[in-house]
Structure 1
């Protein structure tokens, strides 16, 4: 990655980390490290999770402060905000609640920073400990002398004051690791500003220098950055548009298999090699890993992209980004079993109704008789009393009574009455079927 920068003053002003950091927090701000003019800056949600773990090893007792941080990329914010709503153009309409979402890569930064409990004296030959990728084991990266030599080999000056040594970034010696170890040499005594690196090394390392650990110490942080596909969402929050991503896993649970490591030269990122960057990490007793992970997340999230989207008429392949627009409101879906059963009953009734209408239209027969309960009661009152039913005058207490087949027949005196199919007395009577288009 090229053309990446970190603006320390803007970062400290925008993200005011409290003295005691929360284990999980989301900070929504408009932030950009670069200095060039942007067409539109949209608020992006910085999300981080922190943990602490005490480790005892043969190298000493340490407190490992771990953090995972993520923030939507500037690319995702511009894609979701600046691309028109419709093919022929369009703008955001105030008062309408909707969200725009797209699946794009997001950056995840993990950081593990060591705090030693040891109070022993430190020499330039003392091994420098660092955290392995999991944050649960300790390794040795090199000595303080080797770190300073690395700084000199990459353009550093021996005339650099001891209290102004910039952060030193080296690749993690852990096998198979994509991490980078940052070493922050901290000066805690006012008298050290008169000494240079050459004084510390005493002319090409011909002897060790004994220094009090309270005056000079080395803090190491193991950092790694990854790309992970994630759902990005642009929605209104507190009167402004905010871009958010999905949930973030705790650093103790590892990273998803869909992540891809980010390879970057930390020495080429302006702002990360300033001594004040290490000073920022030393603010307070907690939060060094959180500040580091959040700072690097803002850096890697600002991938340059062209403001003008050219026509894909050439031979160069273009990345297809699918944007989903969701408007909030009331809807109905067939998701539950009761809903599906209800729809099945409604559909069956509709089929029966359509079939009956088709029958009436094809046969030409229809009737409005006995279309209400009152008409059925009047017909029953005119019917002959049946001995087939017993003990029903005060109520019906048997389901078999409801199962009796009932029909309408023409009686002896040419009037209609209700009769029961299983009534034996009907066989002694001359009952006839009802004729169509005849008055009774």
Structure 2
């Protein structure tokens, strides 16, 4: 069924209700101008918007949060209102006597307090009683004029009833991102040409830290795949409940088959586990961010690397230290994160804060939690649910919302996808912006 209510008119009505959309339930020209047809398609469904159209071109109707039925009773609804359109402008008339907001009428269509009735007595007619006073059946439950409501034209050409449903997406993206090959090229060039603002440092070092299975290694592999031109798997991703990564690894990327490495190194750690004395030892974080731990160091969950141990870098320079920390968090688990895991992340953040290192959150597996994004990754910043998860990650991890970036890692497909690449590259671009912030702080 095609809606007669224009998109602009639907948006105007929904603006009164919140973040909702309208789903057409009943269309009189198809289902019939009868009370029986109306009730067959609309009973026991709430909330609804009922719309009448007349020969004079007026568009008018009402909203109720209560479900329709055939009880013949008045129903209380303090949220009900009538409306009319003056071209595309919405005029609303709130209920003035809520206990009589809606009448459940068997032989008519939508009945708003015996004040405005569509499909009146199984006819293509409108019943309108905007200003009568007297008994309770004729009281003025809504304040409107017949002229402004329907122009005194009581002949219906159409009647529609819509169910009000929660909308899972914003009308416009709340973050702007260009989804085209030119944008991908631009981001790749920006990353390749990046140059740290401190001359003694030749490359940015980003630490990836997060729970087991969140996608730390997969994120690096996905990023590397973009510059290699095919899916790669240098870092072994974990799928079990215990960390596959047991060594501290520093990964660089050489675009193509040969050439100069990108000015960016990703440092991968052992995964965090909720249980005490399991996974990455939180006491190790200070050694890592301050550059004391060498590449391929074997993690020990029980004991952190001691300063007198072989391989401990005693006098690290700025180029050896971490310049940005990225918390890699599984979007499907952020809401059910255990208190122990949250405490560990807070302890890490406290240590990182004391060193002045910039931080951000990589929210992974976004396609697994949102059908809208699974269908099309470019919907990521239109998804209300993804934004809510990002806001929750911001609160739980303790970083500003602009430091939370959603990504999708490559895990199943064999071919690269431009839109997935753009999301990954945008995340790395934001990392480099934060690295620059860290270097600016070091110079002051």
Larger strand share, 1 or 2? 1
Would you say same fold, with TM above 0.5?
no
TM (norm. structure 1) is 0.22
TM (norm. structure 2) is 0.21
